[in-house]
Amino acid sequence: MKGRRRGPRLVLGALSVAGLLISAYLTWIHYMGVAPICVGGSGGCETVQTSSYATILGVPVAVVGLMGYSGLLFSASLRGAAGVYLGFLVALVGTFFSAYLTYLEVFVIHAICEWCVASAAVMVAALLCAALGVWHLAKENQAVER
Amino acid sequence: MALIVAVAILVAALMVVLSQLGGAGGSSASSGDVGKLYSGIPQNGTTLGESSAPVTVYLYEDFQCPVCGQFSRETFPEMVDRSVRGGEVKVISEPLIFIGSDSVPAARAALAAGEQDRYWPYAQRLFENQGQENSGYVTDDFLTDQARNTPGLDVEEWSSDLKGSSVTQQLQAAQAKAQSAGVDATPTLIFSGPRGQTKLVGMQDYEQVSQAIAQVD
């Protein structure tokens, strides 16, 4: 098993922690039934958090986010190709789903939650970081083959 | 790599489908449905809609009144979606206490939710869970349960506001307003716009509401 560059792993780990903090806050908000703190008032965040799209089969989307970021953090802790590919897979799923959630906010719910936007931005950054890891790994593989 | 992308698309698509199942919702007022009905619409105390809306509908209602419940469940959601959401109409609820002593705590509870601009979702829950009039169903536990299931409502703050003088004043003001407007039945809808005023009393469908809006707009 090949080694893995430390830089992208550290960045991915830091992004995972940031995402975990956002998801943990939104999960807490959900179960406490309180309004989230948002810049410029909590109206948008509250509307999104209380919409019927805020849960999947009864599970709050914030909890799904917690699971996703936990998966990313786990992948960042792994050395070798398995961690690289797992991180890429989780970040790709997270980015697709974040895009869908952003579409819902803009076109269906008609309200923007800054915490959700922040989470989507963290997930896109995590995808870029994971893609960089995959690219480095591919380059290392090519060098070994030569 | 292609396999990872394919798996990611599949998993994300599955999550979207599951999310849509939840989004479709049921007919009862779960907290999610309540949030969805009022999503993106300004709420200020007992006012629902844009403050600049050309038409104002004063909705006189009693939370124990079965016809008010029917109007809230059958006509009001369509009115919100088709007239309020677009900014054409704003609705001001005037909670009345005609029917009996249980009407008072119900109205106070909704007005207390209004202190946090959650009057409308709380009122919707009251109507969705309406019991037999004067049967004693409006207990403290019942009202607190509705508060707990009202999205975004701080229950402790609501509980404190419930006993406050602001709620008492608002309730008294609504009764006085009804008296001066000659309202003696619920629901009564008074439509006020650039072309005057009109009044509808009793159960109405959206077509009748829409005609009254057009009459004053």
Instruction: Write the residue in A35, A92, A109 that is nearest to B40 by C-beta.
Output: A109
* Mutation site for B-interface testing, chosen from A26, A31, A38, A52 by largest number of B Cβ within 10 Å: A52
pLDDT of residue B43: 92
Give the pLDDT of residue A52. Answer: 60
Cβ-defined contacts of A62-67 (< 8 Å, 24+): A62/A23, A62/A24, A62/A26, A62/A27, A62/A29, A62/A30, A63/A23, A63/A27, A63/A30, A64/A97, A64/B15, A65/A19, A65/A22, A65/A23, A65/A26, A65/A27, A65/A119, A66/A20, A66/A23, A66/A24, A66/A27
Q: Which chain A residues are closer than 8 Å to B8 by Cβ? A: 89, 92-93, 96
Instruction: Name the DSSP letter for residue A66.
Output: H
Chain A: closest CA distance from residue B37 (Å):
9
Separation between Cα atoms, residue A87 and residue B41, nearest integer Å? 39
* Residue A33 pLDDT greater than 80, yes or no: no
CA B163 to chain A, closest CA, distance in angstroms equals 20
Enter the DSSP assignment of A46. Answer: H
Q: So what's the pLDDT on residue A56?
A: 83
In a domain, A1, yes or no: no
- Residue B35: the pLDDT is 58
Q: Between A50, A97, A110, which is nearest B152 by CB? A: A50
What CATH superfamily classification does B31-216 receive?
Glutaredoxin (3.40.30.10)
Answer for the pair A113, B31: CB distance below 8 angstroms, yes or no: no
Hey, are the CB atoms on A61 and B8 less than 8 Å from each other?
Answer: no
More confident residue, A124 or B35: A124
Residue B145 to chain A, least CA–CA distance (Å): 12
List chain A residues with CB under 8 Å of B30: 52
* Contact call for residues B68 and B94 (beta carbons, < 8 A): no
Angstroms from A9 CA to nearest CA on chain B: 19
- Please report, rounded to a whole number, the percentage of residues in chain A having pLDDT higher than 90: 48
Tell me how many domains chain A contains: 1
Q: What is the pLDDT of residue A106?
A: 83
8 A C-beta contact, residue A65 and residue A25: no
**Would you say B135 and B99 are in contact if contact means Cβ atoms under 8 Å apart?**
no
* pLDDT of the residue at A60: 85
pLDDT surpassing 50 at residue A1 = no
Local confidence band at A45 (pLDDT 50, 70, 90 cut-offs): confident
Helical segments of chain A, H only = 6-32, 43-49, 61-77, 81-103, 114-145
CB-neighbour burial class of residue A120 (10 A; exposed 0-12, middle 13-18, buried 19+): buried
**Domain extents in chain B:** 31-216
pLDDT at A25: 92
Percent of chain B with pLDDT over 90: 63
Look up the CATH number of the domain holding residue A136. Answer: 1.20.1440.130
Q: What is the CA radius of gyration of chain A?
A: 17
**Strand ranges of the sheet holding B55-61, from the earlier edge strand across to the other edge:** B43-44, B47-48, B89-95, B55-61, B188-193, B196-201
Q: What is the pLDDT of residue A38?
A: 74
Quote the crossing angle between the two packed helices A114-145 and A6-32, to the nearest 10°: 150
When CB atoms are compared, the residue of B9, B12, B35 closest to A52 is: B35
Give A88's contacts in chain B (Cβ within 8 Å): 4
Which pLDDT score, from 0 to 100, does residue A35 have? 65
How many CB atoms lie under 10 A from the CB of residue B61? 27
Whether residue A39 has pLDDT greater than 50 = yes
Residue ranges of A 54-73 with Cβ closer than 8 A to chain B:
54-58, 61, 64
Q: What are A69-113's pLDDT values in tens digits?
A: 999 999 999 988 899 999 999 999 999 999 999 998 887 766 788
Cβ density class B62-100: b for 16+ within 10 Å, e for less: bbbbbbbbbbbbebbbebbeebbbeebbbbbbbbbbbbe
B-chain residues near A96 (CB < 8 A)? 8-9, 12
Alpha-carbon gap, residue B62 to B68, rounded angstroms = 7
Do B81 and B205 form a contact (C-beta atoms < 8 A)?
Answer: no
Which range marks the domain in which residue A13 is found?
6-145
pLDDT along chain B (217 residues), means of 10: 87 86 44 65 93 95 92 92 91 92 93 95 92 89 91 89 92 92 92 95 93 95
Residue A17 has pLDDT above 70, yes or no: yes
CB atoms within 10 A of CB B57: 25
